[in-house]
Each structure stands twice: as structure tokens, then as C-alpha cells.
Structure 1
């Protein structure tokens, strides 16, 4: 599918256009001229495809070069690269949220990866990188992602728009310390994500279902209360911000 290139991203953007075409009440393009529709479509495709992690380093390299040449973003005449980087940053920025949110999303991502690895193994396929439940270490995986992908991206944005990323960088510094502390305490995975022992002949069923203990868990005598992150609750009341009038559309 899609010649094995950005399959997930290509599918999402193609499906978005298909929904708009098939459902008149969801067609967000209907009020625009054909020329505007073409421009919007082109920008949407380029922006969504830029969220493929396979193009991260090339994208960041081009953005860094552009920031070096013109650190004032208001001077950029072609802002396609800026839009691509903004959407890409939003896609990878979960670790820069307050830690109770960052950990909650980290657990969900790790669970998705491990589930994929389990299915690959069950089908006799090679287990993809970062999808092996047996070797997964959540704190170290998060620290690696932060140091390799997120922090360099935020640092580049900081040079061009420091106010835009200041809070994210502050949260990120705290999140790094939290993950380092959990790693030092022996956390590998939350109990509900730990690999289950393989059933053995003659072993009672209840014993087979006992989750593995890990260093640092209460059952192993550690001091860290190793539980899944609490549910994420919205912080109300929400402040409504007036973003100004919408762009004019053709009748």
C-alpha cells in the first residue's frame, strides 16, 4: 500500500479527503474556490506526511538551516516548512506536558507498541524495533525519545520563537528528572504491561497467570509504588480564547 512509503500518514490524509468527498455535510472544502482547494489540499498532504518519523531528521535539518538563515519567522515568505514543523512538533510533544499527562500518554504508546510486537511474534514475523515487550524499558525508551527527537526540535524552535516553547521546555526538564528517578528505582514497565510467563506443563493455572515482579515494585520489596498512571482528567473551567475571524470563503 502506497509503495510502503509513509503508509499510515498517506492513509490518514487520503481517508480525510474521501470523507469530505463522500459526505457533503463534512466537506470542509466546499466553500472554497477550486484554486484554493488545490492549495489547501497540497498543504495538508505535505504537512501530514511530515509527521512520519522516517523524515524527522531531514525535516529538522532543513528547519535548522532555515532558522540559521532567517531566525525571524515573520520574514519567511514560504511557510510550508514552518507548518510542517509545527504539526510534527505537536505530534511528538507529549513528553513536554506535565508529567502526570506525559506518563499517561507514554504508557498508552508503549502498550500499543508492545501489542504490535506480540501480534508480530504470534504471526512468526520479526518483532519491530521498540515493540518487544520482553526487552522494553519504558523510562529509558522515553528518555531516549526525548534526547534524540523532542529536545533538539524544541531547542531549534527556542532560537526562533522562545516564548512559544518556554513552558514546554520547563515541563520537559521536570519530566526528564521523573523518568530518571523511575529508572534509578528499577521501574521497567507498569505491572499491567509486563510480559506474562509462558505456561508450563503441570503448573496450576492461577500460578501461570501471576505477573512477573520487577525490581522496585512493592511486591519485590522496593520503595516505588509501581502503578499505572492515573486517568487524565480535564482541568475545568476551560478558558475560551478568541482566535479571531475565520478566513473568508467563497459563496
Structure 2
């Protein structure tokens, strides 16, 4: 047994393997049906390492590599595909090796070694493996003597790996909370998609999306170009198609040629972003992200930043006082990108909860726009990896950062003050076309941030049915956060059990509530939000962009309907009490 690191695991990938699985200990039996060379290698490895996991394919190993359990020092043995088919090229082997190296860029856990038939080995191919990043190339039939030569390399690698604790959560420093919200779980879900670099692999992995594009593309496209967009009626794959169509439409604008990426890369960007959202969240999930994306897109269509589709009349040209004149297609693309990832990694709790539990993120960002700062940092990392052109152009990057940070409702009134101030600016010329460049740039970023704020709360500006659905979803998420806060403050050290008890108690209370009680609570919350935040914001935006008048009309109409419902319920209650 190797004494250097008892926890080291060997991952052995060989297409000839017939009995994939894990073997522990030097006396672990290897099935008689296993390939003779694979069986011999497993026995040799078990003589030096405590655990050997055998995989018959690269994708099977990559799925395992994306989990947190794989973040311990590991030796990865990759069988050269040409061992099985001498006529095979080097593409498959390099692709798999590159995927392992991609994993190491985020979590440096593996030492990759290529196994090849020495007699038939193409020296050019072996050099390519080494230049790509393989630690060594060994004969396919292993021996103790050959493995001994890897020990110094493995020792140095193991010592260099930082200790990663799955118990430390970025949501809260309270270790009980970490059992509910674990940062590593979010990272795992992102990693599942990041590891697949090759477009062919994407085609196989997301064949259902390709089917939706061909079978339902036009139906979904029609939805994307209407304001009555009910994201909750669509599946995750259908939402993915909607997002794909929005970006494809925007990227057809000639001036955005430098940002165009291939369909496969665009799909990879969207699927990776989707993986960064938590489906367990009732509200802040991928569905909300696409809803905000579509709202942003529709705003930009209304303002004439992007062209409409064939068969739809073009929007009227912006008047001399419309701030649409300061928006360029590049700004529109930045807004779409920001909308797609504005809640990346959202844990389903609020900034107030993070601050009250002294979470590491709260300490990192000094309690200011904690979640929004995290969304920005995480999303920018994804953009740098998956769409580098958008990250390398400073004006685009600045708009993405500014607009994501603007979604913090804690700075809402600060932005409202800035927005209303530009209407009172005596230095502003009658025509925005005459603005000096520095002032134009200032207005542009402020209008973009305000558009993002409108899109983020656009639920109240949709029709009442759509608005009601989202209001209920947000109430459910706030209620879960309240239950978590109650569980954290309890004396019980078992947070999971305490949380379940709190939730069960709340469900019992809700069972005793009448439908009118629930509707009244929802109506009051909607009116408070409309009166305090939505109506003033949309009114200011319509002043800046008259093209968005339909949003303010809906906000006002929805508010009136909610008031009528409150009056009807309270009148009915009063009548019942008198009887």
C-alpha cells in the first residue's frame, strides 16, 4: 500500500473494460469476465493504491469528475483509443484529456496519464498528448516498477491541492445552515455542463433541444415576440429554446458581428447558465431568468434597438426626447446577457438573511448588495470561459456589471433619484442627439440599469393572470426563507429536522386559512409593491422611453384590480360578520 496519501483514488478509463465499478483493498476480487489486461492492471494498481474505479467510457468518468467526491487527489489513467482501433485518430483521446484538464482548471485534483500499446504507438501522437498536458505516457500493461516512477509526481501534486471543505457554505457561517444550502452543490451542477467542450458531445447531450428547435421552434418564437409571455407554462428545454432564439435574433444585427458565436457555443453558454440556477427555488430559478430575458428583449424591440420579426410592424422611430436614441445594439446585447445571468447561483434566500447569519458572502461584500455582487462575480467567470468576447470589451462588461448590481432592491431609491434627476437636468439639450459623449455614456448606463430593474420586476406589468402566478411564487419563496430564519434561531442543533418541523407547522396553518385569506394577503402584498416600487419606476421609465407606455398601463390596471378584490373580500367579510 502506498504510504504517501491513503486517500488517493485511481480512476482507470479503458474502453475494453467489461465490469465497470470500484475495487478497494489488495484482495478485492476482479470478475473472471473482465478483460485480461484490464484485470491485470486493476490488480497491479490495488497493490499500491487503496481504491481503483474502472470506467468503460470517457463520459462515464466525466460525470463522476463533476461531483464533489472527486475533489481528492487522484490518478487518472486514460487508455489511448487507438489501442482498441489502430486506425483511429487522436481526436477522441485528446478530447477526453482536455476535459480532464478543464476540470483541473477549477479543481486541481487529477494527474492524467495516457496508457498506450508501446509497440504500435505513434510517437507524434504521444508527443501531442504530452504537449496538451498529460503528466506521462505509459505502456498499456502496467507494472509496479512503472507505477513507482509516478510516486514523486503524485506526492507533489497531492501536497499542492488546497483542502476543500463541503461543510463551509457561502450562504451562512452557521454550520447547521450548510446542510441545507451547500455551495458545492451549485458548483457540481455547473461542472456537469462545463466539462463538455466538444460541439458533437453537446449535440448528443442536448438532442431534445434540437428536436424542440425543429418541431416547436416557430410556436416558441411567436411567444418570444409577445408581451404576454407566460414562462411558467414552458418546460426547461422550451425555455432554453426561447433564450436561444432571443440571442440568435439579436446577433443577426450587423454591428454585433464581433460577438457572434457558433450555435453550439451559444447553446453551451445557455445550458451552463441554466445549470447555475437552482430548480428548487420557487421563484429565483431558470424560469425567472428567461422571463427577465424576454422582458428585456421586448423592451429593446419596443425601443427599436433590435428589429422586429417579419410580419410585425416596426416600432415608431424614437422621438427627440426618447432616451432610446442613446441605446445601441451593443448595449442591447449587454442587457440580454445580463438578464440571462442576473441571478446566477441564487440560493433562494435574501440579502437580509445572509447578513443576519453572518454568511461568508456577507462578510466578503461588507453586507452591501451581497447576492448581486455574488451573481456578478460568478456570472463573469462563466462569460470569461464561455463567451470571452463579451467579457473582453470594457463597455459591454461595464453594462453587465452595473445592470446586475442594479437589481438589488436595497438600492432601488438610489436609482430612482438618479433617474428622475436626468429629467430635471438643465444642461440636457432638447435633442438627445446633441449630447456630449461623456453625458451620453452616463445616460446610457443609467437607462440600461433602469431597464434591467423594470425587467426584473416586470411580473406586475404583465397581464393579471401572469402577474398573479409570479406573485404566488415569490410569496412561497419568501415563506421558505422565513421558515429557515425561524429554524436557524431555534435551539435545536439539527437544522434539517427543525426546518422540516417549521415547514410542517406552517403547512398546517395554511390548511386552516380560507381562499379569501390567501387572496387578501397576496392582494395586499401586490398593492404595496406596486405603490412603493413598480408604479414610480415604470412611470419614470415611460418618461424616458415613451415606447414602454404599455407597461405602465398594465401596472396601473393590475393595481386597480387588486384594490377591487380587496374591497370585495373585506366587504363580504363585513357582511358575514353583521349577519
* Higher RCO, Cα 8 Å, sep 6+: 1
Query: In the alignment, is the contact (CA less than 8 A) between 2:420 and 2:540 conserved in 1?
Result: yes
> What's the CA shift for 1:65?
0.6
Match of 1:179 in 2: 562
> What's the CA shift for 1:174?
2.0
Among 465, 482, 487, the alignment partner of 1:122 is: 487
Among 154, 170, 174, the alignment partner of 2:538 is: 154
SS at match of 2:424: helix
Relative to total residues, which structure has the larger strand share, 1 or 2? 2
> What's the CA shift for 1:6?
0.9
Match of 1:4 in 2: 367
Q: CA RMSD in A?
A: 3.0
Match of 2:264 in 1: none
Question: Would the alpha carbon gap of residues 19 and 161 (structure 1) be closer, same or farther in structure 2, given more than 3 Å must change?
Answer: closer
TM-score normalised by structure 1 residue count = 0.62
Question: Would the alpha carbon gap of residues 14 and 33 (structure 1) be closer, same or farther in structure 2, given more than 3 Å must change?
Answer: closer
Among 28, 53, 59, the alignment partner of 2:387 is: 28
> What's the CA shift for 1:73?
5.3
Question: Would the alpha carbon gap of residues 32 and 101 (structure 1) be closer, same or farther in structure 2, given more than 3 Å must change?
Answer: closer
**How many residues are matched?**
177
SS at match of 1:44: helix
TM-score normalised by structure 2 residue count = 0.28
Matches within 5 A, 1:199-238: none
CA distance in 1, matches of 2:488, 2:391: 49
Question: Would the alpha carbon gap of residues 160 and 20 (structure 1) be closer, same or farther in structure 2, given more than 3 Å must change?
Answer: closer
Unaligned stretches of 5+ in structure 1? 126-132, 188-214, 222-251
CA distance in 2, matches of 1:52, 1:72: 32
> What's the CA shift for 1:99?
0.2
Question: Would the alpha carbon gap of residues 138 and 85 (structure 1) be closer, same or farther in structure 2, given more than 3 Å must change?
Answer: same
CA distance in 2, matches of 1:32, 1:93: 25
CA distance in 1, matches of 2:470, 2:391: 40
> What's the CA shift for 1:118?
1.2
Query: In the alignment, is the contact (CA less than 8 A) between 2:463 and 2:554 conserved in 1?
Result: yes
Among 454, 462, 470, the alignment partner of 1:105 is: 470
> What's the CA shift for 1:32?
6.1
- After superposition, give the CA deviation of every residue in 1:67-124 in whole Å (9 maximum; x if it has no partner): 2224765545111111111111111221111000000000001111111111111222
Among 552, 566, 570, the alignment partner of 1:169 is: 552
CA distance in 1, matches of 2:475, 2:432: 35
SS at match of 1:54: helix
Query: In the alignment, is the contact (CA less than 8 A) between 1:97 and 1:171 conserved in 2?
Result: yes
Among 395, 398, 401, the alignment partner of 1:42 is: 398
Match of 1:244 in 2: none
Query: In the alignment, is the contact (CA less than 8 A) between 2:450 and 2:541 conserved in 1?
Result: no
Query: In the alignment, is the contact (CA less than 8 A) between 2:383 and 2:391 conserved in 1?
Result: no
